[in-house]
Amino acid sequence: MKTYYFDNNATTRPAPEVIEAMMPFLTELWGNPSSMHVFGGGVRKHVEQAREQVAALIHADPTEIVFTSCGTESDNTAILGAGAATDLKPNIINTRVEHPAVLGPCLELKDRGYNLIELNVDEVGQIDLAELDEALRLGPAVVSVMWANNETGTIFPIDEIARRVKAAGGIFHTDAVQAAGKLPIDVRKTPVDLLALSGHKLHAPKGIGALYVRKGTRIKPFLLGGHQEDSRRAGTENVPYIVGLGRAAELARTTRAEDWGRVAALRDRLETGLLQRCPDSSVNGDLAHRLPNTLNISFEYIEGEAILYSLSDLGIAASSGSACSSGSLEPSHVLRAMGVPFTRVHGSIRFSLSRYNTEEEVDYVIARMPAIVTRLREMSPFVPQVR
C-alpha cells in the first residue's frame, strides 16, 4: 500500500542527497577526526565543512555550532547548561506550550530550587509580551521560547522576544527544531544566545542535532570527558550523521523559498478541502503566524486515535493531540494551554507536510476524510440529535 505521509513534524524522510553524502563515512572514511594520522585526521575537514553548512543555514559563525545527538540533547544542554553557568540561580522562564525536551529540563531545574515561570498563551497559542516583561523584572533569567510550535505551527515573534530578554540582561534560548529549514533564521539580526535544531526534522536521519551557542555565552557542558566540539560536548563525533546534517542544512538553505511556497499552497488546499467537506471542523493555531507546512484541525464529537487508525488503514500517516494517541491519559498540553475545549482537543489531527508531498496526495486525504468522520460520528453518543 502506498504511504501518504503527512507527519513531517514528527520526522521527515531522509533526502537521497543526504544519504549519498553520508555513505563514504559509513564505508571507507571511518576514521576518528581527532586522530594524529591522515586516515583519521583527514575526516576532520568534512566535519568542519558540515559545521559551515549548518552555520550558513542560520547565518552563524561555524565556531558557534555544536553538534549533538538530537534536538532534545540540544535543548537540555542549553537550559541546564545556561542555568548552571553561574552560581546564581537565575529565574527560568518558558511557555506552557514548549516541547517536552524543554519542559523536562525546566522542571528539573525547578526541582533543584530554581524559580520557574511558565508564560500563558492565548487562544491561538501566542504569549502576552507584557507578561514576559513582568517576569523579566523579577531578576536575572534564562528564557526559553520555541521559534514555532510543533503541534499547531504557531510562530512566535522571536525577534521581539529575544530583544526584550537581552534588554533585561537575560539569556535567551529558542527551540527552533520545527522552524529550522522551514523559516528564514538569521542570528545576526535576531539576538538569540542559544538555538536548538534537529536533523531528522529537515530530511537528515535521526540521531543528529545541533546547538547554536553565540560567542561569549557561557554554558556548562552536558556531556563531560572529552575535548571535542571545543570542550562543549564530549564524545567522538558522529561523523556520518554530522556530514548528513550539513548536507540537509545546505539543501534547506538553497531550495527554501520555492519549496515552502508550494508546501504552503498544498497545506491551504488541504485545509480548505477538509473544512468544506467535514462539517463541525475547525483549525487550531495562529492562522496569521503559522509554519507553512502545518495544519492542526479538530473534528468535533470523535476521538483522535480512532481517526488515526482509520487514516492508517488507508495508508495516511498523521498524528493527534488526543489522550489515547499520546500514550498518556492527558490530551495535548499545547491545545489545553490555549483553552481549546475538550471536544476539540480529543478530536484534533495534525497534518504536517514536506517538500515531498504532492497535490494528488492532498486530494486523496480530502477525498477520504469525510467518510472516516461520518463513520465515527455515527458511532458517537455526542453528535447532537437534531442537525
User: What mask, x for binding another protein by CB under 8 A, covers residues 226 to 255?
Assistant: ------------------------------
Instruction: Please give the residues from 323 up to 342 whose contact with another protein meets the rule CB under 8 A.
Output: 323-325, 327-331, 342
The span of 74-82, 111-119, 245-253, 299-307 binding another protein (CB under 8 A) equals 299-307
Strand duo 91-95 + 141-144: pairing: parallel
Please identify, using beta-carbon distances, which residue of 9 and 319 lies nearer to another protein: 319
60 vs 77: CA distance, rounded Å: 19
Please identify, using beta-carbon distances, which residue of 251 and 308 lies nearer to another protein: 308
Among 54, 165, 204, 302, binds another protein (CB under 8 A): 302
Please identify, using beta-carbon distances, which residue of 159 and 313 lies nearer to another protein: 313
382 sits near another protein (criterion: CB under 8 A): yes
3 sits near another protein (criterion: CB under 8 A): no
384 sits near another protein (criterion: CB under 8 A): no
DSSP for 349-386 reads EEEE--TT--HHHHHHHHHHHHHHHHHHHHH-TTS-S-
160 vs 132: CA distance, rounded Å: 11
297 vs 280: CA distance, rounded Å: 10
Q: Are 246 and 51 in contact (CB under 8 A)?
A: yes
298 vs 174: CA distance, rounded Å: 28
Helices 256-277 & 239-254, crossing angle to 10 degrees? 80
Strand duo 116-119 + 91-95: pairing: parallel
374 sits near another protein (criterion: CB under 8 A): no
Q: Are 73 and 222 in contact (CB under 8 A)?
A: yes
306 sits near another protein (criterion: CB under 8 A): yes
224 vs 280: CA distance, rounded Å: 53
DSSP for residue 171: E
111 sits near another protein (criterion: CB under 8 A): no
206 vs 196: CA distance, rounded Å: 15
99 sits near another protein (criterion: CB under 8 A): no
Please identify, using beta-carbon distances, which residue of 80 and 307 lies nearer to another protein: 307
In whole angstroms, the minimum distance from the beta carbon of 374 to another protein comes to 12
In whole angstroms, the minimum distance from the beta carbon of 10 to another protein comes to 13
Please identify, using beta-carbon distances, which residue of 222 and 301 lies nearer to another protein: 301
Please identify, using beta-carbon distances, which residue of 160 and 313 lies nearer to another protein: 313
87 sits near another protein (criterion: CB under 8 A): no
Please identify, using beta-carbon distances, which residue of 48 and 280 lies nearer to another protein: 280
Among 126, 303, 352, 372, binds another protein (CB under 8 A): 303
Other Cβ atoms less than 10 A from the Cβ of 104: the count is: 15
Q: Are 214 and 78 in contact (CB under 8 A)?
A: no
In whole angstroms, the minimum distance from the beta carbon of 46 to another protein comes to 38
324 in active site: yes
196 vs 213: CA distance, rounded Å: 9
The size of the interface with another protein (CB under 8 A), counted in residues, is 26
346 sits near another protein (criterion: CB under 8 A): yes
* Residues annotated as part of the active site: 324
Contact residues toward another protein (CB under 8 A) are: 301-306, 309, 312-313, 322-325, 327-331, 342-343, 346, 378-382
